[in-house]
Structure 1
Amino acid sequence: MLPAAARMRASREFGATVRGGVRVARPSVVVHASSAGDQQRRVGFVVSKKVGNAVTRNRVKRQLRHLVRVHLDEAPPGTRVVVRALPAAALASADLSGDLAGAWQSGLRKLEGRR
């Protein structure tokens, strides 16, 4: 599970990350990444009703949290990441890991190129 300090909860953080950062899409996820002024790495998740019913959305969120935990230390300090699940995330749990890993790496490379 992700530490509480590593989770994004405020709407303004989500909005700033999505609007001001880089975007990388894969078939089951979209990763938005941006830099912030502090040293804390933070991650937020967006799983809309298009993904499925409440049980499905919660299952996808749990899978994403578990997968992101592995990649969180790869991000430089002060990085904000929003992971948005697409409807395909509910169907392809095996592909979710690969899609997230690829999008995460690409997003961090794009963000590093902007700095």
Structure 2
Amino acid sequence: MLPAGNRLRRSQDFTLAVRRGRRAGRPLLVVYLYPGPAAEPSAPGHAARCDRSDSHPHAVENRELPPRAGFVVSKAIGGAVVRNRVKRRLRHLVRECLDQLPRGSLLVVRALPAAANASYQELAADLDAALRRLLSPKRQGRSA
């Protein structure tokens, strides 16, 4: 089980990770990683509002938070038994990777329908490959 401090609970956090985070797609999973406010460049006009911690109460708080993870396992995966099995496997795999994630980061793992028939080792390989890609420095351009 994932420790309570490492769980994503609020829908706003899921939305933030999916819409503003980096994405890595694999055959079984899509993984989104939002590095948190400390790693994000400030938008024009944003620095004037958020340069003081009292003007933006969550700015300092987020940098001190541990990395948090959430899972999206829809009914397209299968029935309740299959969905819960996939979630349990993913929670266990992510728990082992938490120390690799930056503090305050948000991680969302979305299972694709093929995950229903995947073994634990196949899920682990896809998750590891996705995290390796997301945690590597950004490439400036695409190579052909």
Return the alpha-carbon distance in structure 1 between the equivalents of residues 24 and 72 of structure 2: 15
Where in structure 2 are there 5+ consecutive unaligned residues? Answer: 38-61, 140-144
Q: What does 1:1-115 align with in structure 2 at a 5 Å threshold?
A: 1-37=1-37, 38=62, 39=64, 40-93=66-119, 94-109=121-136, 112-113=137-138
1:28-74 deviation digits (Å, cap 9, x = unpaired): 00100012231321000000000010000000000000001111100
Higher mean C-alpha deviation, range 31-40 or range 95-104: 31-40
Question: Which has the larger strand fraction?
Answer: 1
- What is the distance in 1 between the residues matched to 2:131 and 2:138? 14
Shift of 1:24: 0.1
Q: What is the count of residue pairs matched by the alignment?
A: 112
d(CA) in 1 for partners of 2:103, 2:93: 19
What is the alpha-carbon distance in structure 2 between the residues aligned to residue 89 and residue 52 of structure 1?
Answer: 10
For 1:88 and 1:77, the matched residues in 2 are separated by 31
Note the C-alpha offset of 1:104: 1.4
Q: Percent identity of the aligned residues?
A: 53
Query: What is the rounded CA distance, in whole Å, between the counterparts of 1:18 and 1:97 in structure 2?
Result: 21
The structure with the larger Rg is 2
TM-score by length of 1: 0.92
Q: Could you tell me how far apart the structure 2 residues matched to 1:101 and 1:74 are?
A: 11
- What SS does structure 2 have at the residue aligned with 1:88? helix
* Deviant stretches of 4+, over 3 Å: none
